[in-house]
Structure 1
Amino acid sequence: MTTTTTPGARVALVTGAGGGIGAATAARLYGLGHRVALLDVDGEAVNALRDRLDPGGDGALALRADVDDPDAVHGALREVRAVWHSPDVLVNNAARTAPGSVWDVGLAEWDAVLATNLRSVLTLTRLCAPAMRERGWGRVVNLASLAGQQGGTLAGPHYSAAKAGVLVLTKIFARELAAHGVTVNAVAPAAVHTPAVARLGPAAVAAARSVPVGRMGRAAEVAALVAYLVGEDGGYVTGATFDINGGSHMR
């Protein structure tokens, strides 16, 4: 892939960049000229993506870290700062699904899913946003879900609860940062053709049949929406949730 990255390019950090929406978003931002830090618990996946996007170049950085581990996240950010500078753009995409009944989910699993899907948004934003605020420019996009809007249980009740929390946390940070040139928005996809959705099995495929547009979404379509929100044209949009669900949820 050819990049338009320049020495003064903005730095974007994408969590959960090893596949699906995260990888598509990272590739989209790289193609638009950003330097992209690829963070994922799967080190092999982000190494492969880095090599595909920017073989031998300095426009992509692979970071193996678990967003559940604050120390690992701190270490990853120190590496980003050492190579480039603190991120101008943060895409909180890392997620974990765990199908099951609200009556049966164990408390340890509940805590683990909320740590990945919600606490990581708090952790990463608190680490990255102060430098954005000081520079007077920044973009944060949080990947939520239709499940967090409607209480869906296909991906697990704790997943839905966490994604609902992401929507509220988005508004809280948006209010805190709006006066400083930093926007914070959420994107709420429904069924998107990704490895995570595929792992949910036949039920996910069946649910996709009821989508008014008649198909699952594509990761690249979500990435395009994220790219708008982190660009200059998105500067008057903050605290908003953008639905991308094929008409499954209209409001």
Structure 2
Amino acid sequence: MSPRDPATDEAAAGPRVALVTGAARGLGGVTARRLHEHGYRVALTDLDEDAAVAAAAALDPTGDSAIGLGLDVRDKAAFGVVRDTLTDRWGAVHVLVNNAGHSKVEALMDIEPDSFSSVVSTNLNGTFFGCQVLGAHFAERGHGRIVNVASLAGQNGGTATGAHYAAAKGGVATLTKVFARELGPRGVTVNAVSPGPQDLPVVRESVPADQLARIEATIPVRKLGRPEFVADMIVLLAAEHADAVTGACWDANGGLFMR
């Protein structure tokens, strides 16, 4: 008798389940929609629970294939509550997308300790807790996918979004490798995507048009990134058959950072 393949067992059990943090809007919302379009049951989690519930209802008003849940990623125990909720509802979780983020535009020398801790807690601690809690869940079952959202800022030392944000996102890229080494032998892949400036509504609303034009002029491809493309990268890394890639960080920055 040949060994059982956990991935095959999951496919036979029904749609795969993905948990996306920071999914009420922005890249997280786009990623949740893309995963849903690919047949996943999706849990959209966010600190803003009402917005997460509304975003999930836009994908599936019945709640059969998409639900919104409140989640403070700074609280490790909260990840366990969400994991148990999804396991009770849909049987398991198969994919985690650590997308929740927080930034403050502050001059390097003006960043206060509380501000630094706040930004790092959401971006780095939150990713660590998600990898810990869901990584253990996946390892126990012998199969799982984790995709962390890093940032160009964490690669090139850019401080346009704050030095604390850049430091935290650099940490996310390193944590990705650490967890990839730890969980790889147990059937779990851990990867990251690293977007540059993205064409998101919040960007268009908050950045003056002339400043956006100057930003685009610095990008080799001369345009902001498309969040749909980044979401497609995440969907690919989350796929059942994507078991040959782990510990990787895929760039989507229009050529701003090349290696």
Q: Same fold (TM over 0.5)?
A: yes
Q: 1:215 aligned to 2:214? A: no
Distance in 2 (alpha carbons) for counterparts of 1:211 and 1:177: 36
Matched residue count: 247
Quote the residue 1:26 is aligned against. Answer: 32
Quote the residue 2:137 is aligned against. Answer: 131
Q: How does 1:155-166 map to 2 (within 5 A)?
A: 155-166=161-172
Quote the residue 2:249 is aligned against. Answer: 241
Q: TM-score, normalised by structure 2?
A: 0.90
Shift of 1:198: 4.4
Partner-residue secondary structure (3-state), 2:39: coil
Shift of 1:134: 1.9
Quote the residue 1:206 is aligned against. Answer: 214
Q: Structure 1: 5+ residue runs without aligned partners?
A: none
Quote the residue 2:43 is aligned against. Answer: 37
Q: How does 1:136-151 map to 2 (within 5 A)?
A: 136-151=142-157
Distance in 1 (alpha carbons) for counterparts of 2:117 and 2:205: 21
Relative to structure 1, is the Cα distance of residues 123 and 204 closer, same or farther in structure 2, using a 3 angstrom cutoff?
A: farther
Quote the residue 1:73 is aligned against. Answer: 79
User: Which deviates more from structure 2 when the two are superposed, residues 7-16 or residues 93-102?
Assistant: 7-16
Relative to structure 1, is the Cα distance of residues 127 and 86 closer, same or farther in structure 2, using a 3 angstrom cutoff?
A: farther
Q: 1:98 aligned to 2:109? A: no
Shift of 1:69: 2.7
User: Which deviates more from structure 2 when the two are superposed, residues 38-47 or residues 151-160?
Assistant: 38-47
> What code does the residue aligned with 1:173 have?
F
Shift of 1:85: 3.2
User: Which deviates more from structure 2 when the two are superposed, residues 230-239 or residues 13-22?
Assistant: 230-239
Q: 1:15 aligned to 2:21? A: yes
> Residue 79 of structure 2 contacts residue 133 of structure 2 at CA under 8 Å; is this kept in 1?
no
> What code does the residue aligned with 2:174 have?
V
Quote the residue 1:227 is aligned against. Answer: 235
> Residue 42 of structure 1 contacts residue 64 of structure 1 at CA under 8 Å; is this kept in 2?
yes
Shift of 1:200: 5.7
Shift of 1:126: 0.7
Shift of 1:101: 1.2
Shift of 1:201: 2.5
> What code does the residue aligned with 1:209 have?
A
Question: Rg: which structure is higher?
Answer: 2
> What code does the residue aligned with 2:243 have?
G
Distance in 1 (alpha carbons) for counterparts of 2:162 and 2:202: 13
> Residue 6 of structure 1 contacts residue 33 of structure 1 at CA under 8 Å; is this kept in 2?
no
Quote the residue 2:7 is aligned against. Answer: none
Root mean square deviation of aligned Cα = 1.8
Which of 173, 193, 196 is the matching residue for 1:167?
173
Partner-residue secondary structure (3-state), 1:103: helix
Q: Structure 2: 5+ residue runs without aligned partners?
A: 1-10
> Residue 57 of structure 2 contacts residue 67 of structure 2 at CA under 8 Å; is this kept in 1?
no
> Residue 56 of structure 2 contacts residue 63 of structure 2 at CA under 8 Å; is this kept in 1?
no
Q: 1:59 aligned to 2:65? A: yes
Q: TM-score, normalised by structure 1?
A: 0.92
> Residue 14 of structure 1 contacts residue 90 of structure 1 at CA under 8 Å; is this kept in 2?
yes
Distance in 1 (alpha carbons) for counterparts of 2:36 and 2:88: 19
Shift of 1:196: 4.8
Partner-residue secondary structure (3-state), 2:109: coil
Cα deviations by residue, 1:9-28 (Å, 9 ceiling, x for unpaired)? 11100000011110111111
Partner-residue secondary structure (3-state), 1:166: helix
